[in-house]
């Protein structure tokens, strides 16, 4: 029976009836997945879903794979190897316990551990696997991956491209014909693929990337930044000693992960170095904006690959129906923002980026086994959640703004926090109003609750006071909203229950009409003000006030552009500015 999807075929007649599993053999982590009762799921081992792609030998010669090897890397990096995926298809060798190993052999250790994990969970032998590879992998790297699978004891039923697997996990093969960009930024590799679904068949039309770019490189930049600060403070370079460097890189990775959900984190490692027999400790604070500045150039380089892939496919960004984010590094807020801005489309995020490829590989495995497959089930936030804020733009106060902390379709449970600042250094209290919805104007969304946070500690002289707002969204749909004064380590908050109800067609139609009427009223206001500005410029020119007339002309031009671009938020600011300028010279 054909499912109309790539590689569909039934079991081999007379062959062994064993389950085929799906494997994501990753640079940083690897996963194995299966389809049970029609649903793709990750196979975990005592709660551990992701197996670190790290291999080593202990001092006693014991083979270590996964978390034990990753833990050893911090203390004995010379006895451990990670990111071997970057060497697949090359003649490189790594030496462990006095013996040289090929990349295939190291990868086979990881695959064998995944095989054992699957057999323990399923209670039966697992002999066949679908293994994924980056679309940019060379033929040599693909053959090396197949060799690694066979060394591990698998019959490799199929090698499939990671973007194809991601598309299968998202259920793209069940949707209408379309073209999709799969942006895959993992621990050690990056590629973007343009995937086309046509009559149920998924095909990679173009791909571009960098097999030596990923989260590991972000970790290195963060580690260098922290090490430079430590060296300025203590005169010791942590990068010169293997153990110190390994601990530093681990701390940098943890900081990167923490900053995906919050504005600040601390990097702490006790006894990380010594200076004249005196132990030195690492304790530094990192802000999200600092890390974003460090990695921005690397993220920007991935967008060049996006453009190249689109060009090779003969497409423009507006031809894409969806953008899928895959790989753990796409959890970084800056990555999501830059991809969305570059393509003019919000990426789909309703699946764990670490797991999408493995789940898609399991879908392909089920197709090969001729097993029924249903959609991947994930629990997501049905609406965005955020708070009301105020901004000062062009010396004008812009109120009733909506700052989203948890975007719609974010996987739950989750925790997100952001830093906000008072309007003036003297302000020592804020009212936190919580909303649910997607409208940029806060009051157009559904109010969920509010609370007053008082006694905010003063910041540096002349600087506004800082408040950290945090949202904790649990699996039951309950959200804890809290405000934190970092300087005093004091917080307060409320509990809210976001509505999961969908609006009816009539309610949505009424809401659309209300918004349209609001926009029409603003259009009329803009038109009237522009006519008034034209009359004012004529009078100013006649009065010999050409410079002021130029200012009015400039503001009027900006307002007209904002109207044409339907940037009504900016238009409201310009209306106030232009009105004030005209009034000042008409009075």
pLDDT, tens digit (0-9, with 9 covering 90-100), for 279-290: 999 999 999 999
Q: Tell me, what DSSP letter sits at residue 235?
A: S
Residue of 162, 191, 261, 355 with catalytic role: 162
The count of other CB atoms within 10 Å of the CB of residue 365 is 28
- 9 pLDDT above the threshold of 50: no
Q: What is the pTM of this model?
A: 0.75
pLDDT (mean) for 371-390: 82
The verdict on residue 9 lying in a domain is: no
User: Which parts of 48-119 are beta strand (E)?
Assistant: 51-52, 54-57, 63-65, 80-82, 94-96, 99-101
The verdict on residue 328 lying in a domain is: yes
Distance CA 95, CA 80 (A): 9
CB hemisphere CA count around 403 (13 angstroms): 20
Q: Same domain, yes or no, for 373 and 390?
A: no
Please say if 24 is a catalytic residue. Answer: yes
Q: Same domain, yes or no, for 158 and 104?
A: yes
pLDDT tens-digit readout, 210-257: 878 999 999 999 999 999 999 999 999 999 998 899 999 999 999 999
Residue of 82, 85, 115, 256 with catalytic role: 85
Q: Looking at residue 520, what is its pLDDT?
A: 76
β-sheet bridge partners, residue 388 = 402
Domain boundary residue among 494, 528, 561?
494
- 300 pLDDT above the threshold of 80: yes
The verdict on residue 5 lying in a domain is: no
The verdict on residue 11 lying in a domain is: no
The separation between CA 273 and the C-alpha centre of its own chain, rounded to angstroms, equals 34
Q: Tell me, what DSSP letter sits at residue 264?
A: E
Residue of 113, 147, 173, 184 with catalytic role: 184
Please say if 354 is a catalytic residue. Answer: no
- The vertex-148 CA angle with 363 and 91, nearest 5°, equals 130
Establish whether the linkage from the previous residue to 413 is cis, with ω within 30° of 0: yes
Q: Same domain, yes or no, for 477 and 533?
A: no
Please name which of 217, 197, 485 lies closest in space to residue 327, comparing C-alpha atoms: 217
Q: Using an 8 Å Cβ cutoff, are 559 and 530 in contact?
A: yes
Please say if 162 is a catalytic residue. Answer: yes
Spell out a b/e string for 270-284, using b for 16 or more CB atoms within 10 Å of the CB, else e. Answer: eebbeeeeeebebeb
Please name which of 165, 173, 185 lies closest in space to residue 356, comparing C-alpha atoms: 165
The separation between CA 24 and the C-alpha centre of its own chain, rounded to angstroms, equals 19
Q: Which residue range forms the structural domain that includes residue 576?
A: 505-584
Task: Give me the CATH number covering residue 281.
Answer: 3.90.640.10
Q: Same domain, yes or no, for 89 and 118?
A: yes
The verdict on residue 14 lying in a domain is: no
- 501 pLDDT above the threshold of 70: no
Q: Tell me, what DSSP letter sits at residue 72?
A: H
Q: Looking at residue 4, what is its pLDDT?
A: 37
Given pLDDT bands bounded at 50, 70 and 90, which one contains residue 7? very low
The total number of structural domains that make up the chain: 4
Q: Same domain, yes or no, for 374 and 509?
A: no
What's the chain's length in residues? 587
Q: Same domain, yes or no, for 126 and 255?
A: no
Q: Same domain, yes or no, for 109 and 210?
A: yes
Q: What is the mean pLDDT of the chain?
A: 87
Distance CA 356, CA 367 (A): 17
- 196 pLDDT above the threshold of 60: yes
Given pLDDT bands bounded at 50, 70 and 90, which one contains residue 428? very high
Q: Same domain, yes or no, for 123 and 185?
A: yes
Please say if 85 is a catalytic residue. Answer: yes
Q: Looking at residue 2, what is its pLDDT?
A: 31
Please name which of 379, 347, 376, 380 lies closest in space to residue 361, comparing C-alpha atoms: 376
Residue of 24, 191, 253, 388 with catalytic role: 24
- 483 pLDDT above the threshold of 90: yes
Q: Same domain, yes or no, for 450 and 513?
A: no
């Amino acid at each position: 029976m054909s499912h109309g999807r790539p590689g569909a075929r039934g079991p081999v007649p007379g062959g062994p009836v064993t389950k085929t599993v799906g494997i994501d053999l990753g640079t940083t982590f690897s996963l194995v997945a299966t389809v049970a009762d029609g649903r793709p799921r990750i196979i975990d081992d005592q709660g551990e879903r992701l197996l670190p792609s790290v291999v080593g030998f202990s001092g006693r010669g014991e083979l270590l794979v996964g978390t034990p090897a990753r833990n050893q890397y911090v203390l004995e990096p010379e006895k451990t190897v990670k990111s071997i995926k970057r060497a697949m298809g090359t003649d490189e060798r790594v030496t462990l316990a006095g013996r040289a190993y090929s990349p295939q052999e190291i990868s086979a250790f990881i695959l064998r551990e995944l095989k054992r994990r699957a057999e323990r969970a399923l209670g039966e032998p697992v002999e066949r696997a679908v293994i994924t590879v980056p679309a940019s992998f060379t033929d040599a790297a693909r053959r090396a991956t197949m060799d690694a699978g066979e060394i591990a004891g698998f019959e490799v039923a199929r090698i499939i491209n990671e973007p194809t697997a991601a598309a299968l996990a998202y259920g793209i093969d069940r949707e209408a014909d379309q073209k999709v960009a799969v942006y895959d930024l993992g621990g050690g590799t990056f590629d973007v693929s343009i995937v086309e679904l046509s009559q149920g068949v998924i095909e990679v039309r173009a791909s571009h990337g960098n097999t030596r770019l990923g989260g590991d490189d972000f970790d290195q930049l963060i580690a260098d930044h922290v090490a430079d600060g430590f060296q300025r403070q203590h005169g010791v370079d942590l990068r010169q000693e293997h153990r110190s460097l390994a601990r530093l890189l681990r701390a940098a990775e943890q900081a990167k992960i923490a900053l995906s959900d919050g504005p600040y984190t601390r990097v702490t490692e006790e006894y990380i170095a010594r200076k004249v027999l005196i132990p030195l400790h690492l304790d530094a604070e990192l802000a999200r904006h600092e890390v974003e500045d460090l990695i921005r150039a690397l993220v920007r380089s991935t967008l060049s690959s996006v453009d190249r892939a689109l060009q090779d496919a003969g497409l423009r960004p507006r031809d894409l129906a969806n953008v899928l984010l895959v790989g753990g590094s796409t959890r970084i807020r800056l990555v999501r923002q830059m991809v969305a801005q570059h393509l003019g489309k919000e990426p789909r995020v309703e699946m764990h980026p670490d797991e999408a490829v493995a789940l898609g590989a399991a879908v392909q495995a089920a197709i090969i086994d001729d097993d029924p497959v249903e959609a991947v089930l994930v629990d997501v936030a049905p609406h965005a959640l955020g708070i009301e804020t105020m901004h000062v733009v062009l010396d004008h106060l812009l109120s009733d703004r909506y700052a989203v902390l948890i975007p719609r379709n974010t996987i739950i449970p989750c925790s997100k926090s952001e830093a906000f600042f008072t309007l003036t250094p003297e302000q020592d209290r804020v009212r936190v109003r919580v909303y649910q919805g997607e409208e940029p104007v806060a009051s157009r969304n559904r109010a969920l609750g509010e609370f007053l946070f008082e006694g905010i500690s003063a910041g540096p002289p002349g600087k506004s006071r800082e408040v950290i707002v945090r949202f904790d969204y649990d699996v039951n749909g309950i959200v804890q909203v809290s405000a934190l004064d970092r300087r005093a380590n004091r917080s307060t908050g409320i509990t809210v229950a976001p509505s999961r109800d969908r609006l009816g067609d009539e309610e949505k139609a009424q809401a659309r009409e209300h918004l349209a009427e609001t926009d029409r009223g603003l259009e009329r206001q803009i038109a009237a003000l522009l006519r008034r500005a034209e009359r004012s410029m004529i009078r100013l020119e006649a009065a010999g006030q050409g410079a002021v007339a130029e200012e009015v002309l400039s503001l009027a031009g900006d307002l007209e552009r904002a109207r044409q671009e339907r940037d009504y938020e900016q238009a409201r600011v310009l209306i106030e500015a232009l009105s004030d300028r005209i009034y000042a010279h008409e009075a």
